[in-house]
Amino acid sequence: MSFYERYLEYKNFDFEGFFNKVTDRDIVNIMNKDRLTELDFLMLLSEKAANYLEPLAQKAKKLTLQNFGKVIFLYTPMYLANYCVNQCVYCGFNITNSIKRRKLTLEEVEKEAKAISSTGLRHILILTGESRKESSVQYIKECVKILRKYFRSISIEVYPLEENEYVQLIDAGVDGITLYQEVYNEEKYKMLHLKGPKRNYLHRIDAPERACRASMRSVNIGALFGLHDWRTEAFYAGIHADYLQDKYTDVEISLSLPRIRPHCGSFMPDCKVEDRDLVQIMISYRLFMPRAGITISTRESERLRNNLIGLGVTKMSAASSTEVGGHSLENKSEGQFDISDKRNVEEMKEMIYSKGYQPVFKDWQAI
Amino acid sequence: MDDKLTIGGREISSRLFIGTGKFPANSIIPDVIKMSGAQVVTTALRRIDFDSDEENMLKYIPKDCILMPNTSGARNAEEAVRIARIARASGCGNFIKIEVISDNRYLLPDNMETIRATEMLVREGFTVLPYINPDLMDARRLKDAGAAAVMPLGAPIGTNKGLRTREMVKILIHEIDIPVIVDAGIGKPSEACEAMEIGAAAVLVNTAIATAGDPVVMAEAFANAVMAGRKAFLSGTGPVKEYAEASSPLTGFLA
């Protein structure tokens, strides 16, 4: 069984008809439940539920506090390479974009690692574009070997791998994976991923499960909001997380809420996701999966990020760069997309403390 | 009244143990420890940043406390053993709280793996305090394996739901002759007091203090409650009666 079969169960589901039938009483009942069903979760994503955003937010806050306490985990992304063979219309690394392509040498990896770890960060997320030639598993392993000297937790956000490749990377010192399906709607997925291996929807949707099978410690998934109707996309991402958590009980499953940002290229997203929509998604995730980590990156603005603390978010990136070499090198590449919140680690720390929360730099110890 | 608790050859003056996770800032931990009177302090090895001055949790724990690192994040016995070894090699002492969790939805302890880890770590000379689901047979196995105490949960971790496992914990207290320390789920001082009244050797509290409006004052409230509960246990509470006891008994004429 693959999550794809769960996806198919809802393929012909009348989402619009379902949303139209949600009543005030439904939402109040859900608020009083401890364990939500999939359809409860779907109701929370309805327009009707938006009328109850404040009491739902209060419950989300309570659950987050109970499960995670007054802490926010910090990490930063580090781009190793931006070579990419895919043609995804919304991405700056699109093969048809004439941007400067670059890949860090191992010496440069060390330089970037030193610069990042000097800010106190102990968790790193390394990224590459999809190019098995330029960013091979072997290359990633060599980078991880260097990064282990500087960081206590190393996550990867790279192209979908095979199970044995995840095992190799875990053996090398990787403990987490981030992999967004981008778009769960299969037809829309095909429209946005024109060429390259990423066009293979199934191979991507099963990748988080392959990582779970390989015994990855933490698996972070998500939909890229703005590419398709957010209510159904958030629903699929949520039930995907729930499916994985049910099947792989010892893996830490978490969700990200990336929203599309301006980037190199001409594509403009046509499905607007307002701040209040993003908040509704986050609250719904929290009520559906009280124990799941929720990540908000620097794609979002300072103001929004400050206000999301306490609502459900447990993990934030800081001092991010989407450029290869962006943390320390002079001849860095162009970025994958524009960062919105440009604050450095000290500024983020200060903000988190001012909210009555503790910024946590280290939450894992490679064993 | 001389009422010392002894674990792993150490005399422990306070029966309130505290955890260091979930606090709004590490800097308030010294005041929390002081007002709680706690001598045993648990902290997750995964959170200790040995490479940092400012962010190193250990800096906030007074030297006269007994540090009890825990194996949070371990998914099986082998991982718990590896974490325990790292803790000892890093100078965190000999006490170890074993926490093996293979269920991320409820964070319930895996007793079987915990027993295996206890067997291995006792052989390596650790003072082992395992966190368990209150089960009598498992508690016996842990005692036989050489655990220094058993730490049954009162309710799922972080829930603040109180001593929901009361009857099972009571059985452990009656049947197991190593200290039974209620760990997890205690949300209010009255619940800590209740655990002590039924004869728990100590209670371990984290979330209820860390997420309180004023953690320092709450720490003191827990300290008082634990002391009150202990004194009540030692003095022997009067029996609970189903009916009022008539002052002119009906069977008095038989005397």
Domains annotated on chain A, with CATH:
1-356 (3.20.20.70)
Chain A residues lying within 8 Å of B22, measured CB to CB: 68-71
pLDDT class of A319 with cuts at 50, 70, 90: confident
Q: What whole-number distance in Å separates Cα of residue B244 and Cα of residue A153?
A: 63
Chain A: give the shortest CA distance to residue B170, in Å: 26
A208-227: pLDDT as tens digits? 999 999 999 999 999 999 99
Q: What whole-number distance in Å separates Cα of residue A99 and Cα of residue A82?
A: 9
CB proximity A245 to B under 8 Å = yes
For residue A300, is pLDDT > 70?
yes
In this structure, which CATH number among 3.90.1150.10, 3.40.50.970, 3.90.1570.10, 3.20.20.70 belongs to the domain B5-235?
Answer: 3.20.20.70
B83-103: pLDDT as tens digits? 999 999 888 889 999 999 999
pLDDT class of B71 with cuts at 50, 70, 90: very high
Is the separation of the CB atoms in A337 and A322 below 8 Å? yes
CB proximity A249 to B under 8 Å = yes
Smallest Cβ–Cβ distance between B52 and the set A69, A120, A249 belongs to: A120
For residue A50, is pLDDT > 70?
yes
**Listed residue (B42, B22, B18, B16) closest to B211, CA to CA:** B22
pLDDT class of B32 with cuts at 50, 70, 90: very high
Of B4, B59, B97, B241, which is the active-site residue? B97
Smallest Cβ–Cβ distance between B159 and the set A66, A245, A364 belongs to: A66
CB pairs under 8 A between A and B: 80
For residue B1, is pLDDT > 60?
no
B97 is catalytic: yes
CB proximity A120 to B under 8 Å = yes
Where does residue A12 rank: exposed (0-12), middle (13-18), buried (19+ CB within 10 A)? Answer: exposed
Neighbour order of strands in the sheet with B95-98:
B151-152, B127-132, B95-98, B66-70, B40-44, B16-19, B202-205, B181-183
Where does residue A44 rank: exposed (0-12), middle (13-18), buried (19+ CB within 10 A)? Answer: buried
* Model pLDDT, residue A326: 86
**Listed residue (B101, B105, B100, B54) closest to B81, CA to CA:** B100
Q: What is the DSSP letter of B54?
A: T
* Model pLDDT, residue A363: 85
Q: Pick B81 or B240 by higher pLDDT.
A: B81
Q: Pick A330 or A29 by higher pLDDT.
A: A29
Q: What is the DSSP letter of B237?
A: P
CB proximity A125 to B under 8 Å = no
CB-based contacts of B76, cutoff 8 Å, min separation 6: B100, B102, B110, B113
CB proximity B211 to A under 8 Å = yes
Task: Give the distance, in angstroms, between the CA of residue B233 and the centroid of all CA atoms in the same chain.
Answer: 17
For residue A111, is pLDDT > 60?
yes
Q: For chain A, positions 148-187, list CB contacts with chain B under 8 A.
A: 152
Q: Which residues of B93-103 are buried (b: 16+ CB within 10 A; e: fewer)?
A: bbbbbbbbbbe
Chain B residues lying within 8 Å of A249, measured CB to CB: 102-105
Smallest Cβ–Cβ distance between A70 and the set B24, B54, B106 belongs to: B24
* Model pLDDT, residue B159: 84
Beta strand segments in A14-103, E: 71-79, 87-88
* Model pLDDT, residue B63: 86
Most confident of A236-240, B29-33, B38-42: A236-240
For B78, name the nearest residue in chain A, comparing CA atoms only. Answer: A367
Say whether B211 and A364 touch across the interface (CB within 8 A). no
Q: Pick B6 or A263 by higher pLDDT.
A: B6
Q: What whole-number distance in Å separates Cα of residue B64 and Cα of residue B62?
A: 6
pLDDT class of A200 with cuts at 50, 70, 90: very high
For A65, name the nearest residue in chain B, comparing CA atoms only. Answer: B211
For residue A366, is pLDDT > 60?
yes
pLDDT class of B50 with cuts at 50, 70, 90: confident
Lowest mean pLDDT among A261-265, A290-294, A356-360: A261-265
Whole-structure pTM value: 0.90
For A96, half-sphere exposure in the C-beta direction (CA atoms, 13 angstrom radius) is 12
Say whether B79 and A367 touch across the interface (CB within 8 A). yes
**ipTM surpasses cut 0.85:** no
Say whether A250 and B21 touch across the interface (CB within 8 A). no
Q: What whole-number distance in Å separates Cα of residue A95 and Cα of residue A89?
A: 10
For B53, name the nearest residue in chain A, comparing CA atoms only. Answer: A120
A130-179: pLDDT as tens digits? 899 999 999 999 999 999 999 999 999 999 999 999 999 999 999 999 99
Q: Among A35, A220, A249, pick the best mutation site for testing chain B contact (most B Cβ within 10 A).
A: A249
Question: Crossing angle for the helix pair A24-31 and A53-68, nearest 10 degrees?
Answer: 20
A2-32: pLDDT as tens digits? 999 999 999 999 999 999 999 999 999 999 9
Helix, strand or coil, per DSSP, at residue A365: coil
* Model pLDDT, residue A263: 67
For residue A184, is pLDDT > 60?
yes
Chain A residues lying within 8 Å of B114, measured CB to CB: none
For A253, name the nearest residue in chain B, comparing CA atoms only. Answer: B104
Taking residues B182-188, report their average pLDDT. Answer: 93
Q: For chain A, positions 207-226, list CB contacts with chain B under 8 A.
A: 217
* Model pLDDT, residue A238: 98
Is the separation of the CB atoms in B183 and B204 below 8 Å? yes
Taking residues A347-354, report their average pLDDT. Answer: 92
Q: Pick B75 or A267 by higher pLDDT.
A: B75
**Listed residue (A73, A70, A60, A129) closest to A295, CA to CA:** A73
For residue B57, is pLDDT > 90?
no
Residue type, A270: D
Is the separation of the CB atoms in A74 and A316 below 8 Å? yes
Lowest mean pLDDT among A7-21, A51-65, A159-173, B230-244: B230-244
**Mean pLDDT score of chain A:** 92
Smallest Cβ–Cβ distance between A71 and the set B22, B46, B52 belongs to: B22
Gap between the terminal Cα atoms of chain B: 40
Chain B residues lying within 8 Å of A253, measured CB to CB: 104
For residue A203, is pLDDT > 70?
yes
Chain A residues lying within 8 Å of B23, measured CB to CB: 69-71, 358
* Model pLDDT, residue A262: 66
Q: State the DSSP string of B103-136.
A: -TTT--B-HHHHHHHHHHHHHTT-EEEEEE---H
Taking residues B214-238, report their average pLDDT. Answer: 92
* Model pLDDT, residue B163: 94
What are the residue ranges spanned by the domains of chain B? 5-235
Q: What whole-number distance in Å separates Cα of residue A139 and Cα of residue A63?
A: 41
* Model pLDDT, residue A171: 96
A329: left (phi over 0), alpha (psi -120 to 50) or beta: beta
Q: What is the DSSP letter of B240?
A: P
* Model pLDDT, residue A106: 94
* Model pLDDT, residue B242: 67
Lowest mean pLDDT among A199-208, A332-341, B228-237: A332-341
A85-95: pLDDT as tens digits? 888 888 888 88
Say whether B25 and A252 touch across the interface (CB within 8 A). no
Say whether A122 and B83 touch across the interface (CB within 8 A). no
Say whether B21 and A152 touch across the interface (CB within 8 A). no
Q: What is the DSSP letter of B10?
A: E
CB-based contacts of B110, cutoff 8 Å, min separation 6: B76, B100, B101, B102, B103
Q: For chain A, positions 300-339, list CB contacts with chain B under 8 A.
A: none
Going from the C-alpha of A112 to that of each of A141, A252, A259, A330, the distances in angstroms are 16, 28, 26, 11
* Model pLDDT, residue B22: 87
* Model pLDDT, residue B58: 85
